[in-house]
Structure 1
């Protein structure tokens, strides 16, 4: 089985189309979506229009939860743009998504960790910035989940950790936003270092599970100009460079 794993599209429909085309060329058996789908500086409605007919196994991220739960006046710019742009049936689709999903006995889909859509799984925020999580930290965050493969997103960084008990945790990176900054629980930067659209292909055979982390070219310069046209110059450098 070959599973293409997407996460954190953030309304970047051009990057999404590039990833879907690349996954089709690799002849994957399934495509899954780990959330944070439409909120961003670009094209929420078009992203939903592209995805909904595909019927992919999909979970919600923190942005889908925020769209459903928060009043508009409390939303950040990305959620507000989605709330103002998406059609009612698209908002209903996002609101109905589950927080986690067991794809098979072996594969679990989460956005952040099994317990939280905001917690970082394979990274740790300290007072001096972001670092890779240790295996011990990742094992604590995985808890008693018995899946052989846990697929997570949220931090936009491609990473794999194999625990000493054999479980593998995979973050495919972000399809649509290669860098951002945040202040929770301490100020930090998350930077992939290049503007590529990212996803992963997770494969199983008689030898076990393997992962390919993939970076795909698309017209990120146009995406950056589209963000600027929407008044989001905070996105343009990230889209062009993978840096904040």
Structure 2
């Protein structure tokens, strides 16, 4: 069983196209999507056009949920920008996304954790706003009740994996389209992956063991950085330029 997992596209259609081309170049024809597809000051409409035609297993991200559940006048700037670009078909597509799902009877998919679409699975944020790897006892607790041998999550945009005591593997593929962001929950903090490349992961089951290969793909990130700046989001422009918020 060999497939690719993508996540956190955030309206970056150029990064998504580059990743899809890279996946095809590996001879892989099965892909799953872990959500947060559109939110950002980029091109949600073009991103939806790609995803609609792909028709791949997808779960709902927290920002996907905000777009369909929250009144427009309460949305943050990234969600509001995406909302203004999406049509009725895109909103119907978002409303139909499940919170979680099982892929090919062996892989559990969620956006953040099995309990909550807005909580980090493999990371934690301390009171000073520093983001750190989550202690394994808490990862084990969050994975309780999930029987599949591979658990895929996203949300933090950080490519990372952790093997549980019973052999199950938890994997975050990183972000296709947003290498740095700031957030105010649970406390103000920044996530900076330190490079601008588009990320995804290849999952391959060989002799009953999962083999994970994290991928980084070059694309015209400066075009998207310039677009974010033109749309009044200098922090996004910085993150897309080099993976840091300056």
Query: Smaller-chain TM-score range?
Result: over 0.9
1:96-175 matches, cutoff 5 A: 96-128=96-128, 129-175=130-176
| C-alpha deviation, 1:12, in angstroms | 0.2
Give the Cα separation in 1 of the matches to 2:182 and 2:230.
21
Alpha-carbon separation, structure 2, partners of 1:223 and 1:169: 30
SS at match of 2:166: coil
How far apart, in 1, do the equivalents of 2:217 and 2:208 lie?
27
What do residues 29-82 of structure 1 show as CA deviations (whole Å, max 9, x unaligned)? Answer: 410100000111100000000110111001110011101110011100111111
Indicate the residue corresponding to 2:209 in structure 1.
Answer: 208
Q: What is residue 194 of structure 1 aligned with on the other side?
A: 195
- 1:5 is paired with a residue whose SS is strand
Distance in 1 of aligned mates of 2:217 and 2:117: 26
Q: How far did residue 239 of structure 1 move?
A: 0.2
Secondary structure of the equivalent of 2:172? Answer: strand
CA distance in 2, matches of 1:185, 1:39: 20
For 2:108 and 2:160, locate their aligned partners in 1 and report how far apart those are by CA, in whole Å: 16
Task: Confirm whether residue 52 of structure 1 aligns to residue 52 of structure 2.
Answer: yes
1:150-208 alpha-carbon deviations (Å, 9 max, x no partner): 00000000000001110100000000000111121112111111000000001102141
Q: Which TM-score applies when normalising by structure 2?
A: 0.97
Report the Cα distance in structure 1 between the residues aligned to 2:198 and 2:29, rounded to whole angstroms: 20
Q: Calculate the aligned-residue CA RMSD, in Å.
A: 0.9
- Give the equivalent residue in structure 2 for 1:183: 184
Match of 2:8 in 1: 8
Deviation at 1:25, TM superposition (A): 0.5
- Give how far 1:230 is off: 1.5
- Give distance in 2, aligned partners of 1:207 and 1:168: 12
Partner-residue secondary structure (3-state), 2:211: strand
After superposing the two structures, state which structure 1 stretch, 130-139 or 14-23, moved more.
130-139
Aligned to 1:220: 221
Q: Number of matched residues?
A: 244
| Unaligned ranges ≥5, structure 2 | none
Q: Secondary structure at the match of 2:131?
A: strand
Query: 1-side partners of 2:191 and 2:235: how far apart?
Result: 14
Find the residue that maps to 1:57 and give its secondary structure.
Answer: coil
TM-score scaled by length of structure 1: 0.98
Partner secondary structure for residue 79 of structure 1? helix
In the other structure, the counterpart of 2:238 is: 237
Consecutive unaligned residues in structure 1, runs of 5 or more: none
Cα separation, 1, equivalents of 2:207 and 2:173: 23
